[in-house]
């Protein structure tokens, strides 16, 4: 995310306190919430998630 010139902008994402705590637990060292979320998104497999939800898993 950013502006046309490539500079970063700050955005807010509404999450429940429980979700925020789960993300916080994944942070290591000097990691930011941004870097943790980026890693999570890069590993997310939509096809696997859709298949799992159809079977109730």
What is this structure's pTM? 0.60
Q: Name the residue ranges covered by the structural domains of the chain.
A: 17-55
Helices (DSSP H) in the chain: which residue ranges?
A: 17-26, 33-43, 46-55
pLDDT of residue 18: 97
pLDDT of residue 4: 64
33/54 Cα distance (integer angstroms)? 30
pLDDT of residue 24: 93
Report the pLDDT averaged over residues 13-22: 95
57 pLDDT band, cuts 50/70/90, is: very low
């Amino acid at each position: 995310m950013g502006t046309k010139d490539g500079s970063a902008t700050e955005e807010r994402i509404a999450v429940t306190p429980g979700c925020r705590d789960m993300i916080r637990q994944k942070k290591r060292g000097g990691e930011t919430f941004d870097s943790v979320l980026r890693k999570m998104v890069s590993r997310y497999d939509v096809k696997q998630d859709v298949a799992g939800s159809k079977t109730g898993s």
